[in-house]
Amino acid sequence: MLILIAGPYRSGTNDDPAKMAANLRTLEAPSFALFKAGHVPMIGEWVALPVWAAAGGETVGDDLYEQIFHPVAHRLLALCEGVLRLPGASKGADNDVRIARERGIPVWFDLKDVPGVA
């Protein structure tokens, strides 16, 4: 399955690049376990960050950022077959969960609950 990993990226960072990078590493942490289980992990920022940079994005939270970041996750959810919601406050991740549930896409809150993960 293509599984979106959702959780805090920008939330709680005050747009500090080091804190955002740490949050991205946290999002990436379960990716190998998902891969070993036969899934393809996906994180919205893996797509949004290079798109934003290619579009000339400069400041986190600018209009261009807002035009790209959340819409990327929504488009990915049209392709994903599951969502792994990691802990932590995140309006974006909560919205991903809402959309997934509306579309009938399974949502897991613990890596161990994802099919095939030991």
- How many domains in the chain? 1
* CA dist., res. 41 & res. 67, Å (int): 23
Condensed to tens digits (0 to 9), the pLDDT of residues 35-88 reads 999 999 999 999 999 999 999 999 999 999 999 998 999 999 999 999 999 999
**Residue 9 within a domain:** yes
**Residue 117 within a domain:** no
**Residue 116 within a domain:** no
**Residue 45 within a domain:** yes
CATH number at residue 37: 3.40.50.10400
Q: Among candidates 65, 28, 36, 71, which has minimal Cα distance to 49?
A: 65
The whole domain housing 21 covers: 2-109
pTM for the complete prediction? 0.95
| Interior/surface letters 27-53, b for 16+ CB within 10 angstroms, e for the rest | beebbebbeebebebbbbbbbbbeebe
Residue pair 11/89 in contact (Cβ under 8 Å)? The answer is: yes
**Residue 115 within a domain:** no
**Residue 84 within a domain:** yes
Mean pLDDT for the chain? 96
